[in-house]
Amino acid sequence: MFKREEQRAAALINDVLEELGYGRRQLEMRPIPFSGVWGTSSSISYQIANEQLGAELEQLAADLPKKEAKRLVQERIRERAQRIADEVARHLAQRNSFAQVEAVNGYVNIIYDTNHFSNDVVQAAIAQGPDYGRGAPKTDKVMVEFSQPNTHKAFHVGHLRNVALGDALCRILRFAGYDVLAANYIGDIGLHVIKTLWCYLRFHQGEEPPREQRGRWLGEIYAEADRRLNYRQDVVDLLNELAKEDPVFVQAIDRMLKELWRTHKVGEDVAYLLGQIAHGREIKPDAFYDEQTIVRFWPIVGKQLEHELADARAEAEQGLNGESQVSLADLEERYERWKRLASTIDWWPHVPEWQKEVRETFQRWERKDPEFVALWEETRAWSMEEFHRIYDELGVQFDVWFYESEMEDEGRAIVQELLERGIAEVSEGVPVVKIDEKLGLERETYRTLPILRSDGTTLYSTKDLALTKRKFEQYGIDRAIWVVDVRQSLYLQQIFKIMELWGFEQASKCYHLAYETVMLPTGAMSSRSGNVVLYEDIARQVLERALEIIEEKNPSLPADLKVEVARQVGLGSLKYGMLSRDSNRVIVFDIEEALSFDGHAAPYIQYAHARACRILEKVDSLPAGPYTFTDLVPEEIELIAQLAALPDEVERAAEEYKPLIIANYVYELARRFNDFYHACPVLQADEPKRSARIALVAATRQALANGLSLLGIAAPGVM
């Protein structure tokens, strides 16, 4: 509402300028930076002064030394600006539209009438209800693509950040007045699917998990497939890491090698590996004389790690630093990796065969083998059931569903068109777009993007070009937003630029809302390592803990209401935990922090809403306005100011594609309401303050509910 008042003030200043013969101008209005004062200020007098004194100032600059000329120029501009400001302020004050109008240091300062402004804010919030803060309808049609989970993988806590951001952005854009389509792009084909189905057919055929665990089970099979196919690389990665970062390990290997030369108790192949490590040479997965080399060599690595670890633990107990340059935590982590790899040492000889089988499995998909396609459809449905259940639980809805498998043929046709039009070319057998060259850029910026494999199989880029074209042509989108993690930033810019080269005007309004990863206090997660924290597990933990907290804080609530409130608080804490940090920052998600009733967390905000509800429950009916807002204390002023900011913050969040703005807004509103609650009696106050404060509580309750709703978070009436 501040913006509305600024616009009103600017219009009246322009009326005065026109009357005075200065003509209407584009005015920049700024809030008056004084605590407890609501108003706006304009520097238009300086602009006019500069115009009037232009020639005179140029003459001064030419006739006088630089320093003196600068002083005189500034002095004359200030004097002229003050005279103009006095004139504008005098005429503006005669209109009686504001509490006070003054000319200060060449600026026209306008002070709003406190009672009038407070009434406007509070009555607007109450009268408009769920629409308070809503923007005027806008012409652009916007599509927000988010979530994009891969079938045949489990839905983990990292996916939650994407969903929370995308859903909140859709809600904010709609509330700001845009026509919005929420879109999901399901990764239902690709190498991850082929790996999963290969592993299923090779090692788990005929097995079927319980219905409610199918998504988790497919994720476990994918992790197993990746571990099997990357087993050799994981082994040599650990060896190379030890050789590069653990001098104690290298010295021990060197001693073993020298002993080996004297005793000849170990085979030549193992001696070769010992020598590679001792001399710091990088080991390759195929650097073995026969397939059994690793079986004979791996126990040697384990014994040395055990020895190092035992020494490090003993030194730690004695408070010694020891000779190792590797931390105890790193040693423990590496030993655990060694044990995990040792438990499947029999995989080593089979890896090349498995990798070949995966390529053959991919060809079954390419030629649309009926039996394979049937298996894909069945297992794909298992994943989709899980996704729909999670979206229902989170209250997230999509208007459009895209599937990666539907984009392959369209993508191939697009590649052919781009080749024919000269936008793409074949380089070393691969269709590519040399984006910088096509844009005429001398400095490397967007680089070159392959858009199809040499064997004709599709890439992500093949399908994303088809998807983007469909968005523009089939759905008539003016703006397209992708909520995708930050690692895809360059890739998406490449897609946007190819669409621009292709002639799509909408490409200039493509936007990538990038976000960083989610970590737990225990560290990073990896689907390949199988240590991801699944959404259903973290949600269950959060809901259980939320129920414990609700039972502690309000044991008299009926049991079914406790469960419902715990659900609202738990899911709210999950979402707010993902939205209350800038998207370019890594989130370390901690359950206790997310469920805090005292910190920057959803329960704190939800509790402020419940507290407002509790106050209003004791009022028979809301007093009718207008209300008398006089002699306001600082806590009232701050709360009303925050209430007034909601419409402007909605516009800003929509313009910047930034749900964090609303997350910060509702937290700040809750904080100021709590300050007000503790400083200002409401029901015990004398009239007319009592009615005004009751109305202020009602307006705050509405703004809290509206703000939380924009984040997809419930506003409980009791907690």
Per-residue pLDDT, 529: 52
Per-residue pLDDT, 674: 97
Average pLDDT over residues 695-715: 98
pLDDT in tens, 192-244: 999 999 999 999 998 988 988 898 899 999 999 999 999 999 999 999 999 99
Q: Where are the domains of the chain?
A: 2-112, 141-193+378-519, 230-353, 540-710
Mean pLDDT score of the chain, rounded to an integer?
92
User: Among 47-61, 478-492, 629-643, 649-663, where is mean pLDDT lowest?
Assistant: 47-61
Integer-rounded Cα Rg, in Å, for the chain is 33
Confidence of residue 702 (pLDDT cuts 50, 70, 90): very high
User: Among 252-261, 630-639, 674-683, where is mean pLDDT lowest?
Assistant: 252-261
User: What is the distance in angstroms between the CA of the first residue and the CA of the last residue of the chain?
Assistant: 31
Average pLDDT over residues 565-582: 96
Coil/strand/helix, residue 363: helix
* Third-level CATH fold of 540-710: Isoleucyl-tRNA Synthetase; Domain 1 (1.10.730)
CA–CA dist 463, 190 (Å, integer): 11
Per-residue pLDDT, 526: 56
Confidence of residue 323 (pLDDT cuts 50, 70, 90): low
pLDDT in tens, 624-642: 989 999 899 999 999 999 9
CA–CA dist 648, 665 (Å, integer): 11
Confidence of residue 10 (pLDDT cuts 50, 70, 90): very high
Q: Please determine whether the domains at 2-112 and 540-710 fall in the same fold group of CATH.
A: no
Q: What percent of the chain has pLDDT over 70?
A: 96
How far out from the chain centre does Cα 38 lie? 34
CB atoms within 10 A of CB 3: 15
Please tell us whether the domain made up of 2-112 is placed in CATH 1.20.120.80. Answer: no
User: Among 54-68, 109-123, 574-588, 641-655, where is mean pLDDT lowest?
Assistant: 54-68
442: pLDDT strictly greater than 90: yes
Average pLDDT over residues 46-52: 91
60: pLDDT strictly greater than 80: no
Average pLDDT over residues 276-294: 81
Question: In terms of CATH architecture, what is 141-193+378-519?
Answer: 3-Layer(aba) Sandwich (3.40)
CA–CA dist 569, 606 (Å, integer): 8
Per-residue pLDDT, 266: 66
Per-residue pLDDT, 71: 83
645: pLDDT strictly greater than 90: yes
693: pLDDT strictly greater than 60: yes
Q: Which two tokens stand for residue 341?
A: 């790899």
pLDDT in tens, 350-383: 999 999 999 999 999 999 999 999 999 999 999 9
CB atoms within 10 A of CB 595: 23
CA angle 641, 652, 675 (to 5 degrees): 30
401: pLDDT strictly greater than 60: yes
Per-residue pLDDT, 324: 57
718: pLDDT strictly greater than 80: yes
User: Among 122-126, 185-189, 285-289, 417-421, where is mean pLDDT lowest?
Assistant: 285-289
pLDDT in tens, 152-200: 998 988 899 999 999 999 999 999 999 999 999 999 999 999 999 999 9
Using CA atoms in the order 462, 465, 467, 471, what is the torsion angle rounded to 10 degrees? Answer: -170
311: pLDDT strictly greater than 60: yes
528: pLDDT strictly greater than 70: no
554: pLDDT strictly greater than 80: yes
